[in-house]
């Protein structure tokens, strides 16, 4: 199962759901402020919260979606668009969304291959979240990102993107590019998103992280790069300079070598290295992290548990930072190893 971060999972749920506003009790979803129901079939308009308008569509194609949004909309602001399970929808064109401005935009589980230029132009100043996951997207107008002045979250999870996109946005806080076809993250890939907090890149084909890639991001909190093709983490590759950093996830790669000072600046964070190919725990690599109160997860690594871990097994304060499931190649838990053996034989 793909790694699901609570923050990412929560973002796939409607941000506008919740308790109904008492002022809306008795309001029929077919009445104002919605358009006439028959004009927007097969879509449906509902009202949530403090007059938040929701348009839900399923099993529509591009022309049907354009026809729906060509209807008369008595109110054009504060819309949430939720399109899903629409295999026939393949392209989103300029003008397809009419004159409405959208705060929360989502198309998931569809056949969408391309988002064309200016397809979201009516929402440049309003959209806060773009959720385009579980589609077939290979083309998206990333060069327009600076125009989306309110955009905080961009989800392009599980698509067909094969090149790392141009990211330029002062407002973006979260970028998810997991489960695409990318093999590279440019060293300057994040220079245009200075306020980035969360980056997700699970299930791509990344083999190498260039030193300095994650520097210059003072607000960075979480980096998720599980299930890629990393085998070696070189010095400076994951050097973070953020007082807010909380989690670095690298599980399910093929990491067998981590160089000293490859991972720095993550004081007090969680470091997920489970499911890799580590056989030794180099003191020069791991002691600085453990002394910096980093909690390290090492389950499902073929650790040899020879004298290379004497420094760790004989230090209870450092062992306390190692997650309980860490085990040797033979299944014996690190927590059950006898320190006396290492004190006397190493």
Domain ranges of the chain: 1-182
3-state DSSP percent of the chain in helix, strand and coil, to 5: 15, 20, 65
Residue 8 has pLDDT above 60, yes or no: no
Average pLDDT on 44-61 reads 90
Q: Is the per-residue pLDDT at 252 higher than 90?
A: yes
Give, in words, the CATH class of 1-182: alpha beta
What's the chain's average pLDDT? Answer: 92
Find how far residue 163's CA is from the centre of its chain: 17
Q: What does the pLDDT average to over 167-178? A: 98
Mean pLDDT, rounded, for 84-97: 98
CB–CB of 115/132 below 8 Å? yes
Confidence of residue 29 (pLDDT cuts 50, 70, 90): very low
Q: Is the pLDDT of residue 21 over 80?
A: no
CA distance 3 to 311: 32
> What mean pLDDT do residues 145-171 have?
98
279 neighbors 303 (Cβ within 8 angstroms): yes
């Amino acid at each position: 199962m793909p790694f699901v971060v609570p923050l990412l999972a929560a973002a796939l749920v409607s941000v506008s759901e919740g308790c109904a506003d008492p002022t809306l009790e008795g309001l029929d979803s077919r009445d104002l402020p919605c358009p006439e129901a028959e004009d927007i079939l097969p879509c449906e308009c509902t009202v949530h919260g403090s007059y938040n308008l929701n348009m839900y569509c399923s099993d529509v194609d591009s022309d049907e979606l354009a026809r729906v949004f060509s209807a008369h909309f008595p109110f054009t602001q504060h819309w949430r668009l939720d399109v899903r399970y629409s295999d026939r929808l393949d392209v989103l064109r300029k003008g397809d969304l009419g004159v409405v401005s959208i705060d929360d935009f989502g198309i998931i589980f569809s056949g969408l291959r391309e988002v064309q230029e200016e397809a979201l132009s009516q929402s440049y100043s309003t959209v806060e979240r773009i959720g385009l996951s579980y589609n077939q997207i290979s083309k998206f107008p990333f060069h327009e990102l600076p125009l989306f002045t309110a955009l905080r979250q961009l989800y392009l999870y599980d698509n067909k993107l094969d090149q790392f996109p141009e990211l330029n946005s002062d407002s973006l806080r979260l970028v998810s590019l997991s489960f695409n076809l990318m093999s590279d993250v440019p060293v300057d890939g994040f220079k245009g998103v200075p306020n980035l907090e969360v980056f997700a890149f699970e299930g791509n084909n990344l083999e190498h992280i260039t030193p300095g890639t994650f520097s210059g991001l003072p607000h960075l909190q979480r980096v998720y790069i599980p299930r890629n093709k990393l085998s070696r983490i070189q010095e400076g590759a994951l050097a973070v300079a953020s007082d807010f950093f909380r989690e670095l996830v690298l599980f399910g790669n093929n990491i067998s070598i981590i160089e000293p000072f490859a991972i720095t600046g993550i004081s007090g964070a969680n470091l997920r290295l489970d499911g890799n190919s580590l056989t030794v725990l180099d003191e020069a690599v791991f002691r600085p992290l453990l002394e910096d109160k980093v909690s390290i997860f090492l389950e499902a690594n073929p650790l040899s548990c020879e004298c290379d871990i004497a420094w760790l097994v004989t230090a209870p304060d450092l062992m306390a930072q190692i997650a309980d499931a860490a085990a040797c190649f033979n299944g014996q838990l690190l927590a059950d190893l006898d320190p006396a053996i290492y004190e006397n034989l190493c």
